[in-house]
């Protein structure tokens, strides 16, 4: 199967919050989020990209290029997170990461993030969820 090109998006952490003790809310921003194709479907998710230690990828780059040009041991690990909110006007993307404890990849990573930290992700258009109506889009926020 041919992987569709999907350039990785470089973002920065705008703020974090702990709505509950085991939930880490990440709000991401940055110029590359402008026009992010989020909001058409209710189950949009992103995949955070975790390169192995010491490995950096050129930017912009997509996963197909990484898999073609880097040896397998330098491919990143990925973790999927459902878009909790997308504020197109502010260019802010919100995801909620469950913190399962000190083990694992994404949980401890999310717990350590601070405003200004860089984040790399791939935006996914899953398109198996319900198509988002105008009303749904206008309500796509966890804060009301
Ligand atoms: C389409 C999709 C959307 C997703 N959306 C979200 C989301 O919005 N928020 C979110 O938090 N996760 C979401 N996930 C799950 C997420 O991708 C990770 O699998 C999860 O966060 C665990 O990653 P980790 O690196 O912290 O743990 P890992 O390194 O994978 O595992 C380390 C340890 O964490 C613990 N652990 C991991 N997963 C669970 C679990 N489900 N229950 C209990 N203990 C667990 C176990 O002890 C495990 O040994 C989604 C997955 C998919 C496929």
The pLDDT of residue 97 is 98
Superfamily per CATH, domain 9-138: Translation factors (2.40.30.10)
**DSSP 3-state of 73:** helix
Please give the chain's pLDDT, 144 residues, in tens.
444 457 999 999 999 999 999 999 999 999 999 988 887 777 789 999 999 999 999 999 999 999 999 999 999 999 999 999 999 999 999 999 999 999 999 999 999 999 999 999 998 765 555 566 665 555 555 443
**Ligand 1: centre distance to CA 99 (Å):** 8
- 83: Cβ below 6 Å to ligand 1? no
The pLDDT of residue 91 is 94
**DSSP 3-state of 67:** helix
- 104: Cβ below 6 Å to ligand 1? yes
* Distances, alpha carbon 49 to alpha carbons 8, 9, 10, 84, 100, in Å: 8, 10, 10, 18, 19
The pLDDT of residue 86 is 92
**Ligand 1: centre distance to CA 135 (Å):** 30
Domain-wise residue ranges, the chain:
9-138
- What does the angle CA 7 – CA 13 – CA 126 come to, to the nearest 5 degrees? 40
- 45: Cβ below 6 Å to ligand 1? yes
Report the alpha-carbon distance of residue 56 to residue 99 in Å, rounded: 26
**Ligand 1: centre distance to CA 25 (Å):** 14
């Amino acid at each position: 199967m041919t992987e569709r090109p999907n350039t990785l998006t470089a973002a920065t952490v705008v703020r974090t919050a702990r709505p509950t003790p085991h939930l880490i809310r990440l709000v991401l921003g940055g110029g590359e989020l402008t026009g992010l194709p989020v909001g058409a479907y209710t189950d949009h998710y992103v995949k955070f990209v975790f390169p192995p230690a010491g490995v950096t990828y050129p930017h912009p780059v997509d996963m197909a290029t990484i898999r073609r040009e880097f040896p397998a041991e330098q491919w990143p690990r990925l973790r999927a997170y459902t878009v909790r909110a997308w504020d197109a006007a502010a260019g802010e993307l919100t995801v909620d990461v469950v913190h399962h404890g000190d083990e694992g990849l994404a949980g401890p990573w999310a717990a350590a993030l601070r405003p200004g930290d860089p984040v790399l992700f791939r935006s996914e258009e899953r398109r198996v969820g319900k198509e988002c109506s105008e009303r749904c889009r206008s309500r796509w926020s966890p804060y009301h």
